[in-house]
Amino acid sequence: MARPDGRAPDQLRPVTITRNWLRHAEGSALIEFGDTRVLCAASVEEGVPRWRRGTGEGWVTAEYAMLPRSTDTRGARESVKGKIGGRTHEISRLVGRSLRAVIDFKAMGENTITLDCDVLQADGGTRTAAITGAYVALVDAMKWLRRQRKLKNNPLTGSVSAISVGIIQGQPRLDLNYLEDSVAQTDMNVVVTGEGAFVEVQGTAESEPFDRAALDRLLDLAVGGCTDLAAMQKKALSG
């Protein structure tokens, strides 16, 4: 029961993080999990959304999208359809929530950072790559704000990364590619801090309900994967 690309069940795909891929953005990273490629850009804007004005606190939000031909068959553009689909909405919200978990908004002041995560090529795990890459772009945007002397303290209270795990023919596996994802019985996306605590746990029974033992094994795998990703983020940011 070997994996399609020969990996061990607890092995990540090759991960590449190309920091500052974009020239204009205050922070950016092109992140690759195998053939999955997500371009993450952090944009700083003075001010905060209306409902937050006057609180002295900042805001971090995210928008996720897929290029039409990132996938095997071309998908219609959401701009052409005139509306955003449920999946896009759901992932955008997940990415924003995950990053907000490691922010001290008071320390940010009334600034907004928007993380754009655009999937250039998709092969499973786009949302987890997006979260992991967006964190890198976010760190650089925060550094930019400090260089502009707009912040006194570092608003980041930790790091965050994410990985998918799933059960295929009874075997728990780390970092599913598209082929594996489409046949998994159970599929889970886990967002973990650099210190190993959970920010988000989203497990879904795809074909049949799962028990507590399966859940436990998947969480173990995910925490291990995120530990590796945290090290890669650190290395990319130390360059």
Which residues are part of a known binding site?
A: 87, 125-127
Q: Is 12 in the site for a copy of itself (CB under 8 A)?
A: no
3-class SS of residue 194:
coil
Q: How far is the CB of 232 from a copy of itself (least distance, A)?
A: 20
65 or 168: CB nearest a copy of itself:
65
> Looking at 82, 149, 152, 170, which residue binds a copy of itself (CB under 8 A)?
82
Cβ neighbours of 141 (radius 10 Å): 23
What is the four-CA torsion angle of 16, 70, 180, 189, rounded to 10 degrees?
70
Which residues fall in the annotated binding site for phosphate?
A: 87, 125-127
Q: Is 71 in the site for a copy of itself (CB under 8 A)?
A: yes
> Looking at 5, 16, 185, 205, which residue binds a copy of itself (CB under 8 A)?
205
Q: Is 235 in the site for a copy of itself (CB under 8 A)?
A: no
With CA atoms as reference, report the closest residue to 190 among 210, 233, 161: 161
> Looking at 92, 111, 159, 233, which residue binds a copy of itself (CB under 8 A)?
92
> Looking at 9, 16, 18, 68, which residue binds a copy of itself (CB under 8 A)?
68
Q: Is 104 in the site for a copy of itself (CB under 8 A)?
A: no
Count how many Cα atoms sit within 13 Å of the Cα of residue 137 in the half-sphere of its side chain. Answer: 37
Residues near 99 by beta carbon (within 8 Å), at least 6 away in sequence: 60, 62, 115, 131, 134, 135, 138, 160
